[in-house]
Amino acid sequence: MEIGFGLVWGLVLVLVVITVFAGTKTVPQGQVWTVERFGAFTRLLNPGLNFVVPFVDRIGHRLNVQEQVLDIPEQSVITRDNATVAVDGVIYYRVLEAEKAAYQVANLPLALSTLAMTNIRAVIGGMDLDQALSSRERINTSLLVILDGATSPWGVKVSRVELRKIEPPSNLIQAMNLQMTAERERRATVMKADGEREAAIMRAEGAKRSLILAAEGRQEAAQRDATARERLAEAEAFATRAVAEAAAQGGEPALRYFIADRYVQAFGAIATAPNGRLLIVPMEAAGLAAGITQALELLRGAPPRPAAPGSVPQVGPVPPAATP
């Protein structure tokens, strides 16, 4: 009896230990478990130590409530202008309501991936190729709004959608490269033509300015020459009037002095002219010397001496007393 009684107590103890272990659940951080009683959902187990009714309650789903990353498989998408591009991406999502995520959708990752692929085809299919390649951010935003709204009944929050690749086929890439090269060459040609046009305009402006300055210089020189000629004419007129007045008052000697002075000046100009080594004197040296001597004697007030044959007429200055 004692042996049987001990065996029973041993079995009871073992059963109690098994029951305690069966009713104790330790949920790790970042997860939420669902509890089912006879197949029906009853409650959630949060991270930490939890207790359930042994042999009656069981763990239904173990859900990760951390933010997770889901790859979107690569697929071919046809754009609005019938260009084929290869597209893939990633989805960042988080389970907010574990009960809905566990029982409102079966295989949540597959459902998210399929939903994302379908909407990628819809969004990119409504764009031209150039728009799809240049509007990556707009595509991401559109997919985020669509997926977040579609997964809200599942208790899932989609926080980000990123397309990693939008790649046309190789032959289309080569055509795009050729188009880009042609466009850059066109821009270079246009810029070169604009530069040459600007340079031609600047050269024309410089030539115009140079001609204007040259014309202004010639005009100014002509004005100065006209002024000099006018002053010279005034001086000649004044000298002529003075000689005329002197001749009227002093008579023939003053006129002869004037003629002799002009003759000496003309001869000096001929002598200093750069016409080579040969100097032709149109008169005898003795006559010239005699004319100069008579002019000096007239300046000193002495009576003129008879002129030598072949010399200039004897002239002299107007006497000082005859000058007004």
Q: Confidence class of residue 156 from pLDDT cuts 50, 70 and 90? A: very high
- Whether the predicted pLDDT of 261 surpasses 90: no
CB 264 within 8 A of CB 294: no
pLDDT for 318 equals: 40
Q: Please report the pLDDT score of residue 317 as a whole number.
A: 42
Most confident of 96-110, 160-174, 281-295: 96-110
Residue 302 has pLDDT above 60, yes or no: no
pLDDT in tens, 20-37: 888 888 899 989 999 998
Would you state the structure tokens that stand for residue 288, as one six-digit string? 């010239």
The pLDDT confidence band at residue 56, using thresholds 50, 70 and 90, is: confident
pLDDT the model gives residue 240: 74
Structure tokens at 204: 């024309």
One CATH from 3.90.1150.10, 3.20.20.140, 3.30.2420.10, 3.30.479.30 for 68-168: 3.30.479.30
- Distance between CA 69 and CA 107 in Å, rounded? 15
For the cut 50, the answer to whether the pLDDT of residue 235 exceeds it is: yes
DSSP bridge partners of 90:
71, 162
Domain boundaries along the sequence of the chain: 20-64, 68-168, 251-322
Residue 19: the pLDDT is 82
Confidence of residue 226 (pLDDT cuts 50, 70, 90): confident
pLDDT attached to residue 323: 37
Residue 217 has a pLDDT of 86
Q: Whole-model pTM?
A: 0.54
- Given a contact cutoff of 8 angstroms between Cβ atoms, the answer to whether 44 and 34 are in contact is yes
Q: Tell me the pLDDT tens digit for each residue of 86-141.
A: 999 999 999 999 999 999 998 899 999 999 999 999 999 999 988 888 889 999 99
Whether the pLDDT of residue 154 is over 50: the answer is yes
Q: By the 8 A CB rule, do 36 and 52 touch?
A: no
Q: How far is CA 136 from CA 56, 84, 88, 130, in A?
A: 52, 16, 12, 11
Q: Measured between alpha carbons, how far is residue 113 from residues 101, 104, 124, 154, 209 in Å? A: 15, 16, 16, 14, 74
Tell me how far CA of residue 80 lies from CA of 11, 120, 126, in angstroms: 74, 13, 5
Provide the 10 A C-beta neighbour count for residue 10: 10
Mean pLDDT in residue range 173-194:
86
| pLDDT, position 25 | 87
Query: Which is more confident, 289 or 100?
Result: 100
